[in-house]
């Protein structure tokens, strides 16, 4: 059962080939066997999962089932879960048990899915490798000495190793698409505002967006359909109807205009990655798509702009973690100031501290205009580049990452090099656009991701374009050796 897609599992549940309890027990056994090698889970919620599975079986028996009813999924440990620890990968929240569910969790629960556990992640979603997690790094199932990407690395590793058929992730600068690429799965970052951020612990509020991670595009479409929609609890949620993303998955893409940004095919890309991306573009030509050269002239400014905007917003969002209300508190503080200093100093890891300090500096008097305001102006230039490109093409295509997965520890002492691993994904977040990464081959035995970028609220087209590629390739069905 472990290698089946959501669609295949749903058919098996409806046909009574197996029950949700049996499926959940099989995956719990698989997690117990394989996750010690991957560290992809922070919490395995066995009792909770089996209770939800029993309820799902009752719904299935009554004929009241959706496409997700009875399907086990993992929730990234950034989404609050009522009664189950939500750590955000940090010592600061190691003891935090949320008293409510995030909207995303509520909606997936309402669809009848089974939450099997909470997946490992970079601390407060700050990282590109999953190495900043308080619980140790998650590992890439294609080579456990390599990173799975971040910050949603635990979700990506769990799906790639078939520990769960799907998982949630969040994407602030590529944190769904980059680990999806490095682990050889499908990951979709929706349009900003499409998925509620209520109950999703904030990193950078104008950039964060939740989305689905799965082996196939069709599975991602099913999970996105459950996650998306307006939420009155979230002031950034947009009130737009959510289509059934599966309806248009098989639409013909003959005549589709695919833009190739020149800046995404420049120096720095691994030769094996380039070869895989070129081969994927050839497959689209065979499907009748037109390939057009375009330019995003300000894309080289995306990384420096992002690393002003994101730290500035994180310094504001993380100011609430002070040792007073909830989360970690230092032992035996001398006074209130000592409690603040030591609680934050002991509770946050090095990367989080680095970003808080950069962000606080960028927002300080005398520097706001020079840094934060300037970065927001550059952000508008980047958005305008995309707007002009979409006047001539339907989607943009390129690599998700410049290289395959790197070794654990390889970039630990070089944060700038680490930041550059998101060079092709960050601009999408700055502009608020949707993007998807799908498996597109291998370089040196490691997965390569193809990134497809769409216009605002054009997730249906993205899923259609990506699905048509998966219909004529089988990269998304590959399972890492040792996890078959």
pLDDT digits (tens, 9 = 90+) for 174-193: 999 999 999 999 999 999 99
Q: Identify the band that residue 412 occupies on the pLDDT scale cut at 50, 70 and 90.
A: confident
Sheet of strand 72-76, all strands in order from the earlier edge strand to the far edge: 41-44, 114-119, 72-76, 166-170, 210-214, 186-189, 435-443, 446-453, 395-399, 257-261, 290-294
The span from the first CA to the last CA of the chain, in angstroms, equals 11
Tell me the domains of the chain and their CATH numbers. 6-254+464-477 (3.90.1300.10)
pLDDT, tens digit (0-9, with 9 covering 90-100), for 308-354? 999 999 999 999 999 998 899 999 999 999 999 999 999 999 999 99
Q: For the chain, what percent of residues have pLDDT higher than 70?
A: 100
pLDDT, tens digit (0-9, with 9 covering 90-100), for 42-77? 999 999 999 999 999 999 999 999 999 999 999 999
Q: Identify the band that residue 419 occupies on the pLDDT scale cut at 50, 70 and 90.
A: confident
pLDDT, tens digit (0-9, with 9 covering 90-100), for 198-257? 999 999 999 999 999 999 999 999 999 999 999 999 999 999 999 999 999 999 999 999
Asked whether the predicted pLDDT for residue 4 surpasses 90, the reply is yes
**Mean pLDDT of all residues in 10-26:** 97
Q: Identify the band that residue 413 occupies on the pLDDT scale cut at 50, 70 and 90.
A: confident
Asked whether the predicted pLDDT for residue 267 surpasses 80, the reply is no
pLDDT at 394: 98
Catalytic sites, residue numbers? 76, 151, 175
Q: Identify the band that residue 366 occupies on the pLDDT scale cut at 50, 70 and 90.
A: confident
**Mean pLDDT of all residues in 34-43:** 98
Tell me the average pLDDT of the chain.
96
**Mean pLDDT of all residues in 377-405:** 97
Q: Identify the band that residue 416 occupies on the pLDDT scale cut at 50, 70 and 90.
A: confident
Q: Which residues contact 14 (CB under 8 A, 6 or more apart)?
A: 60, 65
Three-class SS of the chain: CCCCCHHHHHHHHHCCCCCHHHHHHHHHHHHHHHHHHHCCEEEECHHHHHHHHHHHHHHHHHCCCCCCCCCEEEEECCECECCEECCCCCHHHCCCECCCCCHHHHHHHHCCCEEEEEECCCHHHCCCCCCCCCCCCCCECCECCECCCCCCHHHHHHHHCCCCCEEEEECCCCCCHHHHHHHCCEEEECCCCCECCCCECCCCCCCCCEEEEECCHHHHHHHHHHHECCCCCCCCCCCCCCCCCCCCCCCCCCCCEEEEEHHHHCCCCCHHHHHHHHHHHHHHHHCCCEEEEECCCCHHHHHHHHHHHHHHHHHHHHHHCCCCCCCCCCCCCCCHHHHHHHHHHHHCCHHHHHHHHHHHHHHCCCCCHHHHHHHHHHHHHHHHHHHHHCCCCCEEEEECCCCCCCECCCCCCCHHHHHHHHCCCHHHHHHCCCEEEEEEEEECCEEEEEEEECCCCCHHHHHHHHHHHHHCCCHHHCCCCCCC
pLDDT at 468: 98
pLDDT at 144: 98
Q: For the chain, what percent of residues have pLDDT higher than 90?
A: 95
Q: Identify the band that residue 130 occupies on the pLDDT scale cut at 50, 70 and 90.
A: very high
pLDDT at 414: 84
């Amino acid at each position: 059962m472990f290698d089946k897609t959501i669609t295949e599992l749903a058919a098996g549940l409806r046909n009574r080939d197996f029950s949700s309890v049996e499926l959940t027990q099989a995956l719990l056994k698989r997690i117990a066997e394989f996750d010690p090698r991957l560290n992809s889970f922070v919490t395995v919620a066995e009792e909770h999962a089996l209770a939800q599975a029993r309820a799902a079986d009752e719904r299935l028996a009554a004929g009241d089932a959706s496409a997700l009813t009875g399907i086990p999924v993992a929730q990234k440990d950034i989404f609050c879960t009522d009664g189950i620890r939500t750590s955000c990968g940090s010592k600061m929240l190691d003891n935090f048990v949320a008293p409510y569910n995030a909207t995303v969790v509520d909606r997936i629960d309402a669809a009848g899915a089974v939450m099997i556990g909470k997946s490992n992640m970079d601390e407060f979603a700050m990282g590109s490798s999953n190495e900043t997690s308080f619980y140790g790094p998650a590992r890439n199932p294609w080579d456990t000495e390599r990173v799975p990407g971040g910050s949603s690395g635990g979700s990506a590793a769990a799906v790639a190793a078939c520990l769960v058929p799907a998982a949630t992730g969040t994407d602030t600068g590529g944190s769904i698409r980059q680990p999806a690429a490095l682990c050889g799965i499908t990951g979709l970052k929706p349009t900003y505002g499409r998925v509620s951020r209520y109950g999703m612990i904030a990193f950078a509020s104008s950039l964060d967006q939740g989305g689905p991670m799965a082996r196939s595009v069709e599975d991602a479409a099913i999970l996105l359909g459950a996650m998306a929609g307006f939420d009155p609890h979230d002031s950034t949620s947009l009130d737009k109807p959510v289509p059934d993303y599966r309806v248009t998955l098989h639409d013909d893409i003959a005549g589709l205009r695919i833009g190739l940004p020149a800046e995404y095919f420049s120096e720095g890309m691994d030769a094996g990655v380039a070869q895989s991306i070129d081969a994927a573009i050839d497959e689209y030509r065979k499907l009748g798509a037109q390939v057009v050269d375009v330019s995003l002239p300000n894309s080289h400014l995306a990384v420096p702009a992002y690393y002003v905007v994101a730290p500035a917003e994180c310094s504001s969002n993380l100011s609430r973690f002070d040792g007073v209300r909830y989360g970690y508190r230092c032992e035996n503080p001398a006074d209130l100031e000592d409690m603040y200093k030591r609680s934050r100093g002991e509770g946050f890891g090095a990367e989080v501290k680095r970003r808080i300090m950069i962000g606080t500096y960028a927002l300080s008097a005398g520097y706001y205009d020079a840094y934060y305001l300037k970065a927001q102006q550059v952000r508008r230039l980047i958005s305008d580049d995309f707007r002009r490109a979409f006047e001539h093409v339907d989607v943009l295509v390129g690599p998700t990452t410049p290289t395959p997965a790197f070794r654990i520890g390889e970039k630990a002492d070089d944060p700038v090099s680490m930041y550059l691993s998101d060079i092709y994904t960050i601009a999408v977040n700055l502009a608020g656009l949707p993007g998807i990464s799908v498996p597109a081959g291998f370089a040196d035995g490691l997965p390569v991701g193809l990134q497809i970028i769409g216009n605002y609220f054009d997730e249906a087209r993205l899923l259609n374009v990506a699905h048509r590629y998966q219909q004529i390739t089988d990269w998304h069905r590959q399972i890492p050796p040792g996890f078959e």
